[in-house]
Amino acid sequence: MSDREKEHEGRSPAQRRPAGGGPGRGMPVMGEKPRDFKKSWSRLARYSGRYLPVFVIAVLCAVGGTALTLIGPDMIKDVTGVILDGLASGIDTAAVTDKCLTLLTMYICGSALIFVQSRIMANVSQGICRRLRSDISSKLNRLPLRYFDSTTHGNTISRVTNDTDTIGMTLNQSLGQLITSVTMFLGSIVMMFIENATLAAIAVASTLIGFAFMSVIIKRSQKYFGSNQKYLGAMNGHIEEIYTGHNIVKAYNAERAAKERFDDLNKKLCDSNWRSQFLSGLMMPLMGFIGNFGYVAVCVAGALLAMNESIKFEVIVAFILYVRLFTQPLAQIAQTATTMQSTVAASERVFELIDEEEMAPDAEGVGKRGKARGEVRFESVRFGYEPDRVIIKDLNAHIEAGQKVAIVGPTGAGKTTIVNLLMRFYELDGGVITVDGVPTSEMARRDVHDLFCMVLQDTWLFEGTIMENIIYSKRGVTEEQVVAACKAVGLDHFIRTLPGGYETQLGDSANLSAGQRQLVTIARAMIEDAPLLILDEATSSVDTRTEILVQNAMDKLTRGKTSFVIAHRLSTIRNADVILVMRDGDIVESGNHSELLAAGGFYAQLYNSQFENS
Amino acid sequence: MLSISRRLTRRDVAVVAVCLAFTVAQTWLDLKLPDYMSEITNLVQTPGGAMGDIWAAGVKMLACTLASAATAVAVGFMGARLAASFARRLRADMFARVEEFSMEELSGFSTASLITRTTNDVTQVQMLIAMGLQVAVKAPIMAVWALAKISARSWEWLALTGGAVASLVIIIACVMSYALPRFRRVQTLTDNLTRVTRENLTGMRVVRAYNAEEYQERKFERANEELTGNNLSAHKAMAVFNPGMRLVMSGLTLGIYWIGAFIIKAAPAAEKLDMFSNMIVFSSYATQVLMSFMMLTMIFVMGPRVAVSVRRIHEVLSTEPKLRDGGVTSSPDDVKGVVEFENVSFKYPGAEDYVLRDVSFTAKRGETVAFIGSTGSGKSTLINLVPRFYDVTDGRVLVDGVDVRDYTQEALRKKIGYVPQRAVLFTGDISENVAFGDSADGDANPDGIARAVRIAQADDFVGGMGGYSAAVSQGGANVSGGQKQRLSIARAIYRDPEILVFDDSFSALDYKTDRELRAELKKETRGVTSLIVAQRIGTIRDADRIIVLDEGLLVGCGTHDEMMRDCEVYREIAYSQLSREELGV
């Protein structure tokens, strides 16, 4: 599987949103629906409990800052009043300056409060995000491997990155905005009614009519957004598929068919595209309309009232400003509501992982013992990946210290199951596996792992220097030991030819061949130097000369160790003391090469099919 | 940007012009509203003003509001249609161009990059067009017009508005210049975090086996810390944004009234009322100006990203495919299934070293020719020259006696059933995947499909999936690797070609299936020439001819036994896979 595919596994094409957020722009695109809104919020609130005191301060700042802004129009009204009073007689500029200075101070204080609130929320949200990521990461190390074998990497990774990001964004922006918006909304209503009830009622009513109108449009438009996402996904999927299979499309002259499907999708996409684009584009003119409509209503109604002398003219000035303060937060509240929804869906996913059941804690009592000899026994081992599907029914085997065990079977026969059980990556359903007579289930997992060195077929290296890759987590390893291990596997000379020698960074630029990577992992296992060994022989993609090196290195590694080899080479199989033959997950035969051949069972059949001339 | 704007049709330009006219009308209407308010102010302040006049002004205001909304909707409508249809054409052109590309151009761009260019980059352009027509056009018109209206009355108010705009721009510029680079870094740092997480996930077994959990966690924490620190400083800077804007907005309104008091006081008595109503109106104008500038900055933030997208799109559209079609559509009737390499050398474009050097051989009708060699020996490259995925650097490749460059690509590929290294399936069902491309021209042939599936040893699992109409999901995600490979072999067989090309197609199969499939293939496709690249000696030891490659040179050519005797490289490979006894030495 290519890296690109890995990037996308676990996500359907439809979920792959285009960069830039699609037709977002102020339009409440339908977010993912969380399953239990309230529960997830309270889980997130409990998780963020330690931030509660600062959060309360932030809320107070937001409310205070907004309240100061809300007093503005009232003060402006007073200023207007002073000017109007002096229109004929001469304006009291000292009084105006006085009032204006007060208001300016209030505005500055208000802004300062909002600034403090934003800073606090930035700190809180990033702190929570960071903790979420850390918790997920350390959680991963406590989860049973069963979890990873049944979940795609993409799925887990997106919880570490996308989902925590979404949560952070909401906490940082939306939550603060929600508080100020609500305060602004309620506050401006209160202020308007204090100024003049009639005019206030007219202002509120006229804006609400506009919003009712808008919500109808939003409701109707949702289905276009849905279908737009769907076609976008289908289109991206088709393009990805055709580009990835470019040589096949060419080789089979399938360009025309691909083009036909593309044109069909492109037409449908264009159609749904302009609709959703248009509808999301409507939001701005609509907001403008609502603002204007409120403005007109206040102006006209205010003027009529002023003519009647039931209000003073400056009240109209105040209302013009209040209508603006009143309409702005409404749109923001609507927008925040949808972000909240996808946030809850994200936190649901994150907490699902954080609350996932962990491995049973290690049993107490059995401490680390001296150097193990490496005698392994399987006694009536029973195991299944799913509880109702037992695949290993009753495995009994006795491996003396220092013996070699070959595990053979066709692809997909479940050879890695044995590794999973030996390393205690999975727990047995019945029976015991003992090392030197001690059941592995009674040891701490760390100690079980310490008993084994392991070289797997997919050569896992990480970003770091060659030296770091070989030493890995082992402590107290000298450089001489690393060099000795590399010399033993025949890698030393090659490493010295690299520009940085042992300190060469292994990165994306694949500067090691598959075989060399394999050699590095073998060297790593040599440094680990545990009494037992698990080895997965490589099958392909290694050039012949390196292949010989790898084989020699593997032979050296198995010396003096009880080894379990997932074998592909016949020489390994023939030389093994015990061969475990696997088929469809179960061990169907065991014995050595000549015994198994003589038995004429599955092994014999496999052996013959592999090497017989067809 | 220019390169893209040239793609607008005359009709598009007309639509843009209409949008422009509508926007001007809308701006006029929006600015008309405060004018009526000034009229109303005068009416209210003049003793004896009539109620009827206020109503009349009110109705006109309402009409303006509605008309303004209508023009805005119309612009939105036209813009959305224009953007969507433009994106559709752009996408279609991109797709058509990429389909023309040979493997050379494709790998030059990389598949992943081409996908993003055809999907996301086009969407970016579409967004900019739709938004641009609505916002980018209106904002400057509005700003200039409103400023003009203010300046006609008072330079003091104009200066104040100018000052407010300037401080707005300064705030935005400062915050953005600090925060934007940090926001850009977010992606890199997130990628970093993703990489560490993926590393941890893919190596989970190794991590646990070496008790290296803490080691990995430390690494994760470093990446986490870096990301958190970066985000925090960006968000802290952004914290200036909202309160800053708010202060400028409220401050401007306040300032207009403050200055207004002095202007009105200084004005002659007759003009006092007029100045007063101007003041009420100008505070509205000034707000409009500020809003316009805010909108414009949004476009400026979006601009550079779209410019990058446009460049990336242009790169694709301006790349001419290097492979040119020949004119030959048929080969001589009496020659079938013959592949001939004449002193073929090949190097990848831009590479220094040759991958293949002076390779010559002939595969006759019905022969099975196998290619083996270590990684990087050039065997895959060689076999990809036959369907002309690349052109040779020197020498000639002949199929049925005709140089592959002289054929039309369609005619050449009709002769070949190609099975790639990595099996590719397409969305659809099993039979669509087997009868694929021009093999499906004419009537689908159910018997042919059944036969191909049977030869490819795929009938068992196809039956299990529910027969030939069973769905295959995108990229064949619902079938396993080995099953994919068998279906992809069935696809080649169904084509009933003269030449079968297997580019290391058997490695994904287990030994047993591999053997049965080849036995069946040999029986059923007599007269078809097979070219097989393989890794396993077992797969090819019964081939009519084995060609051994080493670092691009042909170092051996003959049967298995001959190669075992004569070819050192072949022996090395053989011994690394099988013991001496099995090889019968």
Q: What is the pLDDT of residues A63-81, one digit of tens each?
A: 999 999 888 888 888 888 8
At A548 the pLDDT is 74
Q: What's B500-559 look like in SS3? A: EEEECCCCCCCHHHHHHHHHHHHHHCCCCEEEEECCCHHHHCCCCEEEEEECCEEEEEEC
Pick the residue from chain A with its C-alpha nearest to B389. A247
A432: three-class secondary structure by DSSP: strand
A14 in any annotated domain: no
Question: How confident is the model over B119-156, as pLDDT tens digits?
Answer: 888 988 888 888 888 888 888 888 888 888 888 777 88
Q: Write the residue in A108, A300, A524 that is nearest to B54 by C-beta.
A: A300
Q: Which of A165, A296, A543 sits opposite B376 (nearest CB)?
A: A543
What type of residue sits at position A12?
S
**Position A456 confidence tier, pLDDT thresholds 50, 70, 90:** confident
- pLDDT computed for residue B400 by the predictor: 93
- Which ranges of B267-408 does DSSP label H, i.e. alpha helix? 269-317, 379-384
- Rounded distance, CA B502 to CA B418, Å? 6
The kind and range of the H/E element at A58 are helix A52-89
Q: What pLDDT does A8 receive?
A: 36
Best residue in A17, A80, A107 to probe B by mutation, most B CBs within 10 Å?
Answer: A107
Q: Which residues of B touch A241 (CB under 8 A)?
A: 426-427, 474-475
pLDDT digits 0-9 by tens, B70-94: 998 899 899 999 999 999 999 999 9
Write out the two tokens for B463.
Answer: 């039956």
Contact call for B95 and A239, based on CB within 8 A: yes
Give the pair of three-digit tokens for residue B253: 């309104």
CA dist A605 and B29 (Å) reads: 88
Of A130-139, A183-192, A441-450, B504-513, the poorest mean pLDDT is in B504-513
pLDDT tens-place string over residues A386-407: 878 788 888 888 888 889 999 8
Nearest CB to B254 within list A76, A237, A472: A76
User: What distance in Å separates the CA atoms of residue A607 and residue B515, rounded to the nearest whole number?
Assistant: 12
For A410, the closest of B211, B287, B512 (CB atoms) is B512
Alpha-carbon span A251 to A243, nearest angstrom: 13
User: Is the CB of A83 less than 8 angstroms away from the CB of B194?
Assistant: no
Closest-CA distance, A43 to chain B, in angstroms, reads: 22
- Would the CB atoms of B114 and A25 count as touching at under 8 Å? no
Q: What is the pLDDT of residues B251-267, one digit of tens each?
A: 998 999 898 888 888 88
* Maximum distance among all Cα pairs of chain B, rounded to whole angstroms: 123
The answer to whether A410 touches B512, Cβ cutoff 8 Å, is yes
**Rounded CA separation B163/A319 (Å):** 26
Beta-carbon separation of B207 and A548 below 8 A: no
- Residues A182, A273, single domain; the answer is no
- Domain presence at residue A158: yes
**Roughly what angle, to the nearest 10 degrees, separates helices B51-100 and B10-45?**
160
pLDDT at B423 over 90: no
Q: Where are the alpha helices (DSSP H) in B46-116?
A: 51-100, 103-109, 111-116
Q: Which of A522-531, A579-588, B461-470 has the lowest mean pLDDT?
A: A579-588
Range scoring the smallest mean pLDDT among A219-228, A229-238, B321-330, B408-417? A219-228
Which of B128, B136, B131, B134 shows the shortest CA–CA distance to B4? B128
Domain-located, residue A484: yes
Q: Do A609 and B511 touch (CB under 8 A)?
A: yes
Closest Cβ–Cβ partner in B80, B238, B242 for A274: B80
Please tell me which residue of chain B has the smallest CA distance to A19: B120
pLDDT (average), residues A607-613: 59
What count of other Cβ atoms lies within 10 Å of the Cβ of residue B397? 21
Q: Which residue has the higher pLDDT, A482 or A283?
A: A482
Contacts of B488 in chain A (CB under 8 A): 248
Q: Residues 369-398, chain B: which have Cβ within 8 Å of A?
A: 374-377, 384, 387, 389
Q: Which residues pair with A455 in a beta bridge?
A: A535
Same domain (yes/no): A144, A131: yes
Cβ of B421 under 8 Å from any chain A Cβ?
no
Confidence of residue A16 (pLDDT cuts 50, 70, 90): very low
Q: Beta strand B529-533 with A578-583: parallel, antiparallel or unpaired?
A: unpaired
Any chain B CB within 8 A of the CB of A427? no
Give the bridge partners for A454, in sequence order.
A534
A10 interface with B at CB cutoff 8 Å = no
d(CA B20, CA B25): 9
Minimal Cα distance from A606: which residue of B? B512
Q: Are A308 and B123 in contact (CB under 8 A)?
A: no
Q: Which domain holds residue A204?
A: 197-310
A522 CB-near residues (< 8 Å, 6+ apart): A455, A489, A550, A553, A554, A557
pLDDT of residue A15: 36
Judged by CB atoms closer than 8 Å, whether chains meet at A540 and B512 is answered as no
Per-residue pLDDT band at A359 (split at 50, 70, 90)? confident
Percent of chain A with pLDDT over 70: 89
Do residue A411 and residue A488 come from a single domain? yes
Q: Are A305 and A202 in contact (CB under 8 A)?
A: no
**Residue B272 half-sphere exposure toward CB, CA atoms < 13 A:** 18
Residue B332 DSSP label? -
- Is A313–B253 a contact, with Cβ atoms under 8 angstroms apart? no
CA–CA separation, A289 and B68 (whole Å)? 8
Query: What pLDDT sits at residue B25?
Result: 93
B243, A458: Cβ pair inside 8 Å?
no
pLDDT, tens digit (0-9, with 9 covering 90-100), for B524-562: 888 899 999 987 787 888 899 999 998 889 999 999 989
Nearest to B439 among A252, A289, A606 (CB): A252
Q: pLDDT at position A527, please?
A: 87
The answer as to whether A392 is a domain residue is yes
List b or e across B27-65, with b for residues whose CB sees 16 or more CB atoms inside 10 angstroms: bebbbbbbbbbbbbbbbbbeeebeeebbeebbebbbebb
Q: What mean pLDDT comes out for the span A516-532?
A: 86
Q: Are residues A550 and A592 in the same domain?
A: yes
Q: Are A162 and A269 in a shared domain?
A: no
Q: Which two tokens stand for residue B71?
A: 């023009």
Instruction: Find the CB nearest A251 among B106, B253, B413.
Output: B413
> What is the pLDDT, as a whole number, of residue A412?
63
Statement: residue A494 has pLDDT above 60: yes
Q: Is A11 helix (H, G, I), strand (E, B) or coil?
A: coil
Angle, alpha carbons A338-A289-A77 (nearest 5°) = 100
Task: Write the residue in A281, A544, A611 that is nearest to B130 by C-beta.
Answer: A281
Residues A304, A309, A312, A318: what is their CA dihedral angle, to the nearest 10 degrees?
Answer: -30
Tell me: pLDDT of B282 over 70: yes
Both A573 and A488 in one domain: the answer is: yes
8 Å CB contact of A545 and B72: no
- Can you tell me the distance from the alpha carbon of A217 to that of A207, in angstroms, rounded to the nearest whole number? 16
Q: Which of B424, B475, B578 minimises the CB distance to A570?
A: B578
Instruction: Note whether B68 and B29 are within 8 A (CB).
Output: yes
Cα dihedral across residues B46, B52, B53, B57: positive or negative: positive
Residue predicted with more confidence, A197 or B153:
A197
Q: What is the pLDDT of residue A507?
A: 62
Residues with Cβ within 8 Å of residue B223, at least 6 apart in sequence: B189, B192, B193, B196
Cα(B200)–Cα(B547) distance, integer angstroms = 42
Angle at A539 between CA A534 and CA A545, to 5 degrees: 105
The structure tokens listed for A204 are 């509120």
Answer whether A333 touches B (CB < 8 Å).
no
- Report pLDDT for A19: 34
**Residue A188 falls inside a structural domain:** yes
Residues 335-394 in A contacting B (C-alpha not used; CB under 8 Å):
none
* Greater model confidence, A404 or B574: A404
- A389 DSSP 8-state letter: B
The reported pLDDT for the residue numbered B579 is 56
Query: B538 contacts in A (CB within 8 Å)?
Result: 610-611
Alpha carbon distances (Å) from B378 to A538, A598, B346, B541, B552: 21, 43, 9, 20, 5
> Which of A356-370, A499-513, A546-560 has the largest mean confidence?
A546-560
CATH number at residue A77: 1.20.1560.10
Give B476 or A117, the one with higher predicted confidence: A117
Please tell me whether residues A438 and A580 are part of one structural domain.
Answer: yes
Residue A593 within a domain: yes
Q: Is A510 exposed, middle or buried (0-12, 13-18, 19+ CB in 10 A)?
A: exposed
> Residue B123: which of A22, A242, A190, A108 has the closest Cα?
A22
A157 touches chain B (CB under 8 A): yes
Do A268 and A384 lie in a common domain? no
**pLDDT tens sequence across B1-32:** 667 777 888 888 999 999 999 999 999 998 88
Cβ within 8 Å, pair B72-A285: yes
Q: How confident is the model at residue A20 (pLDDT cuts 50, 70, 90)?
A: very low
The Cα of B232 is separated from the nearest Cα of chain A by a number of Å equal to 6
What is the nearest CA distance from B515 to chain A, expressed in angstroms?
A: 7
Give the C-alpha separation, B262 to B266, whole Å: 6
Asked if pLDDT for residue B228 goes beyond 90, the answer is yes
Are B515 and A614 an interchain contact pair (Cβ–Cβ within 8 Å)? yes
Tell me how close the Cα of A469 comes to any Cα of chain B, in angstroms: 12
Structural tokens at position A503: 């300190």
* A71 and B CB contact within 8 Å: no
Count how many pairs of residues, chain A against chain B, have C-beta atoms within 8 Å.
456
Residue A563 shares a structural domain with residue A460: yes
Percent over 90 (pLDDT), chain B: 30
Q: Which of A217, A227, A292, A551 to mutate to test the interface with B (most CBs of B within 10 A)?
A: A292
Displacement of CA B523 from its chain's centroid (Å): 44
Residue-by-residue DSSP string for B212-262:
-HHHHHHHHHHHHHHHHHHHHHHHHHHTTHHHHHHHHHHHHHHHHHHHHHH
What does the pLDDT look like over B173-187, one tens digit per residue? 888 888 888 888 887
- Number of domains into which chain A is organized: 3
Mean pLDDT (chain B, rounded): 86
The verdict on A152 and A47 lying in the same domain is yes
Please tell me the distance from the alpha carbon of residue A123 to that of residue B446, in angstroms, as a whole number: 66
Q: Judging by beta carbons within 10 Å of its beta carbon (0-12, 13-18, 19+), is residue B446 exposed, middle or buried? A: exposed
Q: How far is CA B462 from CA B421, B456, B495, B507, B516, in A?
A: 21, 11, 19, 20, 17
Distance set, CA B297 to CA A118, B129, B253, B311, B392 (Å): 21, 16, 21, 22, 53
Neighbours of B342 (CB within 10 A): 16
Q: Which residues pair with A386 in a beta bridge?
A: A389
Q: Which residue has the higher pLDDT, A32 or A159?
A: A159
Of B68, B111, B262, the CB nearest to A243: B111
**Structural domain includes residue A367:** no
Is the per-residue pLDDT at B474 higher than 50? yes
The overall average pLDDT reported for chain A is 81
Residue A70 shares a structural domain with residue A154: yes
B476 to chain A: which residues are within 8 Å by CB? none
Tokens of B509: 């199969």
Residue B576: pLDDT band by 50, 70, 90 thresholds? low
Q: Which residues of A touch B43 (CB under 8 A)?
A: 303, 307
Spell out a b/e string for A435-456, using b for 16 or more CB atoms within 10 Å of the CB, else e: bbebbbbebbbebbbbbbbbbb
Q: How many other CB atoms are found less than 10 A from the CB of residue B268? A: 7
Q: Do A20 and B123 touch (CB under 8 A)?
A: yes
* pTM of the complete model: 0.74
In a domain, A100, yes or no: yes
Integer angstrom CA distances of residue B5 from A116, B314, B528: 45, 11, 52
SS (H, E, C) B395-453: EEEEECCEECCCECHHHHHHCEEEECCCCCCCCEEHHHHHCCHHHHCCCCCHHHHHHHH
A-chain residues within 8 Å CB-CB of B258? 79, 96-97, 100
Residues 82-101 (A) with a CB less than 8 A from some CB of B: 82-84, 86-88, 90-91, 93, 96-97, 100
Q: In this complex, is the C-beta atom of B38 within 8 Å of any C-beta atom belonging to chain A?
A: no
> Does A574 share its domain with A585?
yes
- Whether A169 has its CB under 8 Å from any CB of chain B: the answer is no
Residues paired with B533 in a beta bridge:
B371, B503
Query: Rounded mean pLDDT of A193-211?
Result: 87
| A497–chain B nearest CA distance, Å | 20
What domains can you pick out in chain B, each with its CATH number?
2-317 (1.20.1560.10), 422-496 (3.40.50.300)
Tell me which chain A residue has its CA closest to the CA of residue B426. A241
